[in-house]
Chains A and B, each alone.
Chain A
Amino acid sequence: MNCTEAKPLLHAYLDGELGLESALEIERHLEQCADCARERAALASLSVALGDPALRFGAPEALRRRVGAPVAGEAAGGATAPGGGGGLSQALPDGRLRVRRSRCSPS
């Protein structure tokens, strides 16, 4: 396997999407090719950066209430907000969904 063949497969390799045979071929190539090894390291670092939990958005409590998911504190007898605590098929409690807001244009 040469670099031209290896580079496009690096993504699938790192994503665990390559078959065993191709994966082994890639690994043999990576042992011999500093260029591709660097590429692999860079892609792996990017993956780590993207996996940072700080990049994730957690569901807001308001959404939890809207879909009927347990909200922190409720199990301990916390108050239920008006219109909250409905089931999955519950219609919008506050009618907010149908109101389209004007948006900023995307950057």
Chain B
Amino acid sequence: MDREEAQKFKQSLLEWLNDAYNLARWLVRDDQDAQDAVQEAFVRAARFAGGFRGGDRRAWLLAIVRNVCYTLLSRNRTAADNVAFDEELHHGSADQAADPETMAFNRVDREVLIRALEALPVEFREAIVMREMEGLSYQEIAGAAGIPIGTVMSRLARARERLRLALSGKAGESGQSGRVRQIR
């Protein structure tokens, strides 16, 4: 990649600044931290532009954003709410919420959904944000998070169950069944 190409590459990344910030903001849950993470990600992306090996540039950028966010989270020690901690204890089933009332998500309280998203363990939250908001494929999420596709699938399934539970208003009373039936 020559100098001019590199410059064009950097400029093209700016096209996804909103996506980068959205992902960072959901991951670190703080505006200033998210801004810091995105700036750092763009610096890294520019530095490693020559190492880009094809594929989707947006997914590549978001993977860098994700990694910077994780570094920041571990530094801030806010990643204590990780999957290993609560997978067993808090695994509920959305089956219990499958009545017509709870399925009317178009009437859902947006605030409840936002709170439920923020309360997800960061590994679940990233899967949801990358998939549902940023439209990344399972393969791209797996690549960004450094996990097998099967784990992407199980995290998405569990994250969605939790969100449905929260939206049904039953999260508090039915989240302790401990039933594990999802594939890894």
Q: Which residue of A lies closest to B102 (CB)?
A: A42
Per the CB 8 Å criterion, the residue count for chain A at the interface is 44
Are the CB atoms of B106 and A45 closer together than 8 Å?
yes
CA distance A47 to B131 in the complex (A): 10
Q: Do A68 and B153 form a contact, CB below 8 Å, given A8-B183, A17-B138, A103-B78?
A: no
From residue B1, how far is it (CB to closest CB) to chain A in Å? 15
Give the contacting residue for A66; candidates B10, B39, B138, B157; CB below 8 A.
B39
Give the contacting residue for A11; candidates B47, B137, B157; CB below 8 A.
B157
A-B pairs, top 10 by smallest CB distance, nearest first, are A45-B105, A59-B21, A50-B132, A57-B25, A88-B46, A69-B14, A63-B35, A42-B103, A49-B105, A59-B17
Task: Point out residues on B near A: beta carbons under 8 Å.
Answer: 10, 13-14, 17-18, 20-22, 25-26, 29-32, 34-36, 38-40, 42-43, 45-47, 76, 78, 80-81, 94, 98, 102-106, 108, 110, 113-114, 117-119, 128, 131-133, 137-138, 153, 156-157, 160, 163-164, 167, 182-183
